[in-house]
């Protein structure tokens, strides 16, 4: 724990998310850190895919070769074509190695590690914090030769989690563009659907026609990017909007 605090201490005296990211990267230089990416973003309400994850934006700092950017073949491959890191994000994991989900000895990830090598990444440690309003702060910290003793890797990951918690302090409350804006009637209908009521039952409860019930529920479903009512209700519940 003492070593983890040493790594992250400079970030806690920084007054911006960018400065905190830079200070943290500098503190790991002696261990051979070769790459850093920090983000502050909102998880998409729609299904988490490579495209929606990238579109969420929020990159605070990316320290990487100039060629490592959207449009470059290697970058696009690991971001869009073969991105194994969606799995731990869906599972809400807070710390892991890239190689935990893309084993280097697995032939299926040969092209993945070849592409990562163009960014100077032999392996990377990830730390992620999850906050209110689906806010996520994340750190990807790459190393050319990541042969750490278990206690050293743990110290780096714990320091990374402390950094992402620090970054959470810089996260602004989401604006309207990040909120699911349901009308009061849409929310009422969705709540009764969640209770298992039929369209007819909801129409009686709310004193409206069945077609009006369907109209409001379909509007709510579209706003949530859901393919059906069940998925819409699940997304509302996950976002604590029911």
Q: What's the pLDDT tens digit per position in 134-173?
A: 889 999 999 998 787 778 888 898 999 999 999 998 987 6
**CA dist., res. 214 & res. 35, Å (int):** 50
**Residue 242 in this model has a pLDDT that exceeds 80:** no
Non-local (6+) Cβ contacts of 159 within 8 A are 3, 4, 5, 6, 7, 8, 24
**What share of the chain in percent tops pLDDT 90?**
56
- CATH 3.30.450.80 for domain 2-168, yes or no, is yes
Sorted by where each begins, the domain ranges of the chain are 2-168, 180-238
Q: In degrees rounded to 5, what are phi and psi of residue 18?
A: -65, -45
- pLDDT, tens digit, 9 for 90 and up, residues 47-92: 789 988 998 899 999 999 999 988 899 999 999 999 999 999 999 9
2-168 and 180-238 agree in CATH topology: no
Percent of all residues in the chain with a pLDDT value above 70, rounded to a whole number: 93
Give the pTM: 0.72
pLDDT range class, residue 176, cuts 50, 70, 90: very low
State the average pLDDT over residues 24-34.
Answer: 93
The CATH class for the domain spanning 180-238 reads: mainly alpha
- State the Cα–Cα distance between residues 221 and 72, nearest whole angstrom: 36
């Amino acid at each position: 724990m003492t070593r983890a605090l040493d790594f992250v201490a400079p970030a806690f005296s920084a007054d911006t998310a960018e400065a905190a990211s830079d200070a943290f990267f500098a503190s790991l230089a002696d261990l051979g850190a070769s790459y850093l990416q920090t983000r502050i973003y909102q998880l998409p309400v729609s299904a988490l895919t490579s495209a929606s994850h990238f579109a969420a934006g929020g990159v605070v700092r990316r320290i990487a070769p100039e060629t490592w950017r959207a449009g470059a073949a290697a970058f696009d491959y690991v971001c869009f074509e073969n991105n194994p890191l969606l799995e731990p994000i869906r599972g809400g994991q807070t710390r892991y190695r890239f190689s935990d989900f893309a084993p280097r000895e697995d032939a299926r990830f040969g092209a993945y590690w070849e592409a990562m090598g163009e960014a100077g990444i032999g392996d990377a440690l990830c730390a992620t914090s999850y906050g209110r309003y689906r806010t996520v702060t994340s750190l990807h910290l790459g190393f050319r030769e990541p042969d750490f003793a278990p206690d050293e890797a743990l110290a780096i990951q714990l320091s990374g989690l402390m950094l992402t918690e620090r970054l959470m302090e810089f996260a602004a409350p989401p604006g309207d563009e990040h909120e699911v804006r349901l009308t009061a009637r849409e929310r009422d209908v969705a709540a009764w659907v969640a209770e298992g009521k039929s369209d007819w039952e909801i129409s009686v409860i709310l004193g409206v026609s069945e077609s009006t019930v369907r109209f409001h529920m379909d509007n709510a479903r579209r706003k949530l990017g859901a393919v059906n009512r069940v998925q819409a209700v699940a997304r509302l519940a996950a976002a604590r909007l029911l």
